[in-house]
Structures are given as structure tokens and as C-alpha cells.
Chains A and B, each alone.
Chain A
Amino acid sequence: MAQFLQQMVNGLALGSIYALIALGYTMVYGIIALINFAYGEIYMFGAFTGLFLVLTWKANLYLAIFGAMAFTTVLGLVVERVAYRPLRRSRNAGRLSALISAIGASIFLSTLMVLLHGPATTGFPTLFQNRNFVLGGASISLYQILIIGVSALLMVGLDLFVRYTKTGRAMRALSQDADAAALMGVNTDLMIAITFAIGSALAGAAGVLAGIYFNAVQPYMGLMAGLKAFAAAVLGGIGSIPGAVVGGLLIGLAEIMGVAAKLSDWKDAFAFAILILVLLVKPSGLLGRSIIKKV
């Protein structure tokens, strides 16, 4: 039982990171039905920005997280402007073009980081002494508390924003009926840009948290994390914000439980097995609405 509880704690910490990235996927998909595969790389850039701030400016934890979020916000806006907006404007570009462009942006960003930094893995300097607390037989580290706490805070903030602000309401309107939202005066391009910015900020924060937790930052770290977060978004129901959180946590738990069951060789396979299963059995995901094709 204590063992199980312990794995729950570990799974929640890992899952929080996936959930933060998955939120970006799901929000963008909800609005323009596009998978922004570059979120994994934006997460990686977040980790490097945090690392850079700590190494060169001796930034503390909060500054590292905020700085990374600010940088990835800008990066997300640039990616949207360069890789997606021109395709949205073009009459000849279909959904497939946008997807190819997304994958291209993702490869470009990881390659760019290899050029800037080199392919080597860098450890994250210790920002504070990690400690362990024992809770009902399971131990939870300060790092895990940090990850779960910061993620929870960001998610609650996002939920309040989407639910109660004028911009959040416009984003929801846009995802429910884009034409009707435009008729209300909603500037579609602006809302899409804001959505990319929010998703990128969350991914950036996740990057710093992951860098600290795994004590490893490298240019290709975004690939696997991004794909697993995508699986998480699909599991939860793509387009659904609570779904992304639930999906992220479940994917994290599944991975940790798998490792605990001595299947660590298959660590990366669990998320994708779940992804395939969801697509076969319930493509709308756990909390997603079933998609009714508009005539």
C-alpha cells in the first residue's frame, strides 16, 4: 500500500508536467483544430531559458520560471506567426499543410538548440536543497511538491481566466462556433495568438520544472515529452481543458506504475499504447464532446 501511494506521488509529479504541455495542445486544437507539435520544443526552450537564467544571472527559482514563461510566450507567438498564420490565410493550404508545418517547426527548433548549445545533456544547478517529507508511508520530495504546486496554481489560474474573463469567454465562444464568434466582434487572429501564447507559457514553465526534477536538459527532451503530452490531451478528450489535466495525470501515473511493475524497458511505450487504445475505443476521449460534423 505504501509502495502504491509512493508511486501515486511520483506519477502525479510526472503527470503534472505532461498536463501543463497537454493544455497547450488541447486549447489550440479546441480553437483551430490544429495540433501544434512544436509545444514539445517550446517546453525544451523553456528548460534551456531557465537553465540560462540560473547559470548566467544566478536567477532564483521564481525568476527562472517567470523568465522561461516570458521567453516561451514570445517564442509561441513567433511560431504561430511564421509557421501557421500564413497557411490559415492561404486558400490552397489544407489541414495537412498545417500539420506538416507544425512538424517542421518542431524539427527546426530542436535543431536550432543543437546549434546554439550542442547536443549534450546539461544538469540543472541546485537551486535549493531537496528534502523528503514522509506522508502516510510515502515520501514526497520538495521538488515534487514544487512541481505539483506550481502546476496546480497555473491550472487554477487558467481555469479562472477561461471561465471569468472577457477574453476567456471569447476563446470559448470561438471554440464553439468560429463564425458566430466573429459576428460578435471577436478578432479570431488575436484570440489564436493569445491561445498560442498561453499554451507556450505553460509549456515553458513545465520545461523548467522538468529540468529541475530530472536534473537534465537537452535539445531533444521535447520530442518524447511533447508526444506523451499529445497522448494525454487525446486521452482526456482533445479540446477539453479539464480533460488535458486528467489525461496528463493519468499518463504520468501509468508510466510510473509501469516502471514500478518492472517494465521500465517499456517506459515510453505506455503513453502510446494508451493513445492507440483511446483512438480505437473512444476517440473523443474521457471528457471530450463527441464531434458532430457541421453540415
Chain B
Amino acid sequence: MLVIKDLQVSYGAITALHGISLEVREGEIVALIGANGAGKSTTLRTISGLVRPALRTSRITFRGETLFGHDANGKYRAALPHRLVEMGISHVPEGRRIFPAMTVRENLLMGAYSRRDRRLSEAFERVYVRFPRLKERAGQVAGTLSGGEQQMLAMGRALMSRPRLMLMDEPSMGLAPMLVEEIFSIIDEINADGTTVLLVEQNAQMALSVADRAYVLETGHIALSGAAEELARDESVRKAYLGE
């Protein structure tokens, strides 16, 4: 579904990604784990078009369509961030990035911004069923929500566009352990409903517990990849990321 080939990204003189390749297949949950600064968020931000690949030979395709890089006709393409939602990619950014001065309802409406159909009540209903708390707080200004509620709002907002692929950046960040469990079981449910998920997490244990496959990023390189269960058993992964 999503194929990344030789992705290089730099911020000025600093290279964040040294040519990584990875793949997400339809229906999967794929986790991208690694330490701070390994390039996890950069990977997601590049898929969304917020950051541009440094090399024109880097290539990202989604459902056969070229987002970045040379397409089949040899033409160079670089998708603009606002086009990607329409194509079915929804990004829950690091730090949630909800619109703080808007109400919960308005935030959700922004999630549906790219939809041209008028059947929004159905989308609202689906999000409210998954996150009943958001329904209770529909009229509340989003900046006054708790951290867990803001994370739910960010996820609900991303679901409003009915994405095929959801990119999730550190959904557990700053949340109490109980809430982390809840968020991850919701990610599992969203995936069971047919949305493919690419998940970036520092909490490797949680990430590996829900993921089908995982990639381990180390300072801009992919150090390891494989089935999540296997990685969770791997000696070096356990040492480096699972705190054993």
C-alpha cells in the first residue's frame, strides 16, 4: 500500500534519514520504533509532505501512485500536504496539534475538511461511538481538554476523513499508563475496522504488542525489521528498547 524507497531527508547540513526503505501493506499495523532523534517523526512528516526528501531519487508511492519521486513516465512528482488527505492518508501528528481555540466539534469538522460529500453526520457518529468523551465535550474549547482527551480528539479528527492509511506519531506521549492502554486498544479497533496504520512510538513495548511488523530506526538508518513478535523476542531490541 505504502512503499518507501531510499528516502533521504536533511535539515540544512544535518541528515535525518540516510536512505531508508520500508513498506506498509494493506490492513497491517506497522510500528516504527527507535530512540529520540532516530528519524521516526521525520519519516511520517515526509510521507505527509510537510518535509521534502533531499534526494530526487527517493521515492514514496501510495496505492501505486507516486507521491514523491519519479513516476512511471519519468516525471518528478512532489505531492502537496493538502492533497494527501484526499488520497486517503491521515496524519495524527506528534504532540496532537489540535486547534486549541476551536471547539471539539469544530476540530472534528476540520478533520472532514477534504470531504466533499455531505454525509458528515455519519462520520461524527462513528467518531462519537469510538470516543464517547468527545461527544460529551463537543462544545468545549479543545485547548481546555486533558492530555488524554486531546489525543482522542486528534485521533477522532484524523478519522473524520475516513482514511485508508493512518500515520500516528507518538500517541502515548505524556499519557498515564492506563490511558496508554486505552489508546492502543483503540488503535487496534481502528485497524480491525479496515484502516491500515503506520505507528511511530518510543514506547516500543506497547507498539510491538499491537503491531504486525516493525522497523527499528537508529540515527537515520533501519537497523532491524521483521515481525513484531520476533522483534519483541530479539536480544538486542530487548536491551535497547524494552529496558531489559
Contact = CB atoms under 8 A, between A and B. Distances in A.
A172 interface: yes
Interface in A43-93: none
A170 B113 contact: yes
Contacts of A176: 99-102
Nearest to B90: A183
A188 interface: yes
Interface string B75-105: 0000011111110001101000111111000
Of A177, A181, A184, the most chain B CB neighbours within 10 A belong to A184
Contact of A185 (B93, B99, B114): B114
Interface in A170-187: 170, 172-173, 176-177, 179-187
B109 interface: yes
B93 A183 contact: yes
A184 B106 contact: no
Contacts of B109: 166, 169
Contacts of B100: 176-177
Contacts, number: 66
Interface string A183-208: 11111100000000000000000000
Given A169-B106, A169-B110, A183 B98 contact: no
Contact of A186 (B48, B49, B106, B113): B113
B50 A183 contact: yes
B110 to A, nearest CB: 5
A186 B48 CA distance: 13
A177 B97 CA distance: 7
Nearest to A170: B113
B99 A179 contact: no
Contacts of A170: 110, 113
Interface in A152-181: 166, 169-170, 172-173, 176-177, 179-181
Nearest to B83: A185
Contacts of A172: 99, 101-102
B171 interface: no
Given A184-B110, A186-B113, A179 B50 contact: yes
B58 interface: no
Contact of A177 (B83, B99, B114): B99
B220 to A, nearest CB: 22
Given A172-B102, A173-B102, A179 B93 contact: yes
Contacts of A169: 102, 106, 109-110
Smallest CB-CB A-B distances: 9 pairs:
A185-B114, A185-B85, A182-B81, A180-B97, A176-B99, A184-B113, A184-B110, A183-B91, A185-B113
Interface of B: 48-50, 80-86, 90-91, 93, 97-102, 106, 109-111, 113-114, 157, 161
Interface of A: 166, 169-170, 172-173, 176-177, 179-188, 289
